[in-house]
Homo-oligomer: A and B are copies of this chain.
């Protein structure tokens, strides 16, 4: 019998204590949707914070009552799994700027009235971390055994551990980047152009009219999906297989890969908001922590135990991105373990049950727990 989990919401910033954002704006209220799995031990030394990627949410593991599909990282988090909830207290929160319960551009401005839309302040990586820290404090945790995340999630972990190394004993940064390339930015720029160029976008004021930029958002998602899979993975999954028994030459859906992308675009509309897509992709574009010459000042005196993971077929944030992070951390005399793990599935691998990957996370966290004892 599975134990059901719930998403809870907590107000972490209000008008009296607003969130001072990196860009200078004050934001209030800030409500955060989160879940926890496992129990916090008496020493409060077994907390692991899950940082989610671009389109994730607080529901990382387990089942919601009445649903059959578990959380997005259920293969990683649970009893006996690499992030072992028999031993660990796991916190998973929806990101600031998101659309799954945490305050974002679709929330009522100031907590009342019309949605922020494009008046929502630009979000930086440090803002995501500021909200995570407030939640951690609220839950009575002063120091994490580990923070872990893939892709944008890994970037939050990097930002957090660089800035507040005393709060993060172990930092697990998976398939992430410290500095997007021109090509990375270019893909996101086209996605944003598709969203903002959709007449349904209405300069971000689309909610009330019910006239959403669905076409633009679906295109953004389809495009992103191409970059999440390796060319070989796409070939292995779809090849040139026709969707139906025969090709019907035309502009419909003839090839299986077209059907797959269309489906990915469509189902995404049910769970994601176009403005959140804009804000959270931009967080990645602007992220460049080591551009600050003082970036590693804090960790020089308070080393963090790092695990970096990349996947050999990831062409979005592949080994070259992880190796750049590795060089910076080694220059700052950090203990770093780096693994470039073979996997057919490209960037998506961080979400999948790749045995060597899961074994690596499992072993690292087990050792982290033992050291913490």
Contact = CB atoms under 8 A, between A and B. Distances in A.
A6 interface: no
Nearest to A221: B190
Interface stretch (A30-38, A49-57, A61-69, A253-261): A253-261
B181 A286 contact: no
A226 B257 contact: no
B190 A226 contact: yes
Interface in A204-236: 215, 218-219, 222-223, 225-226, 231, 234-235
Interface stretch (A133-141, A149-157, A191-199, A305-313): A191-199
Interface stretch (A79-87, A163-171, A237-245, A331-339): A237-245
Contact of A189 (B185, B198, B257): B257
Contacts of A197: 215, 218-219
Name the interface size band of chain A.
35 or more
A231 B181 contact: yes
B278 A185 contact: no
Contact of A187 (B185, B226, B238, B278): B226
B185 A240 contact: yes
A254 to B, nearest CB: 8
A38 to B, nearest CB: 38
A302 interface: no
Interface in A116-149: 118, 122, 124
Q: How many protomers of this protein does the assembly include?
A: 2
Given A181-B235, A185-B257, A231-B183, A251 B192 contact: yes
A124 B247 CA distance: 13
A355 interface: no
Contact of A122 (B185, B250, B255): B250
A166 B88 CA distance: 74
B261 A186 contact: yes
Nearest to A189: B258
A293 interface: no
Nearest to A215: B197
6 contacts: A182-B257, A186-B258, A189-B222, A193-B215, A193-B222, A198-B215
What are the 9 A-B residue pairs with the smallest beta carbon separation, nearest first?
A182-B234, A197-B215, A122-B249, A182-B238, A182-B257, A189-B258, A183-B231, A190-B222, A183-B234
Given A181-B235, A186-B257, A251-B282, 11 more contacts: A23-B249, A124-B249, A181-B240, A185-B257, A186-B261, A189-B261, A190-B219, A190-B222, A193-B215, A194-B219, A223-B223
